[in-house]
Amino acid sequence: MNSPFGAHVDTPVERFGVPQVYRMRSMDAGAMFSKDDISVIVRICNEPLLWRFLFRDRLGGRPRYQEQDALAFLDWARAGWISGEHMIFVLRDENEHIGACVDVGRLDESREALIGYWAGAHHRGVMTNALVRLAQLSKEAGYLKLVALVEPENVRSARVLTRAGFTWLGSEEHPITVFDQPVGRALRYLRYERAL
Tell whether residue 157 is a contact of ligand COA (CB under 6 A). yes
Quickly list DSSP for 115-160.
Answer: EEEEE-GGGTTSHHHHHHHHHHHHHHHT--EEEEEE-TT-HHHHHH
- Which span (56-64, 83-91, 127-135, 168-176) binds ligand COA, by CB under 6 A? 127-135
The smaller minimum CB distance to ligand COA, of residues 9 and 126, is found at: 126
Tell whether residue 22 is a contact of ligand COA (CB under 6 A). no
User: Of 13, 50, 70, 88, which one interacts with ligand COA (CB under 6 A)?
Assistant: 50
Tell whether residue 138 is a contact of ligand COA (CB under 6 A). no
Tell whether residue 126 is a contact of ligand COA (CB under 6 A). yes
Q: How many helices (H) and strands (E) does the chain have?
A: 5, 8
Count the neighbouring beta carbons within 10 Å of the beta carbon of residue 130.
26
**Burial profile 71-110: b = 16 or more Cβ within 10 angstroms, e = fewer:** eebbebbbebbeebebbbbbbbbeeebbbbbbbbbbbeee
Tell whether residue 88 is a contact of ligand COA (CB under 6 A). no
Tell whether residue 154 is a contact of ligand COA (CB under 6 A). yes
The smaller minimum CB distance to ligand COA, of residues 6 and 16, is found at: 16
Task: Please classify residue 69 by burial: count the beta carbons closer than 10 Å to its beta carbon, then call 0-12 exposed, 13-18 middle and 19+ buried.
Answer: buried
User: Of 70, 77, 98, 119, which one interacts with ligand COA (CB under 6 A)?
Assistant: 119
| Residue ranges in contact with ligand COA by CB under 6 A | 16, 49-50, 53-54, 117-119, 124-129, 148, 150, 154, 156-157, 160, 163
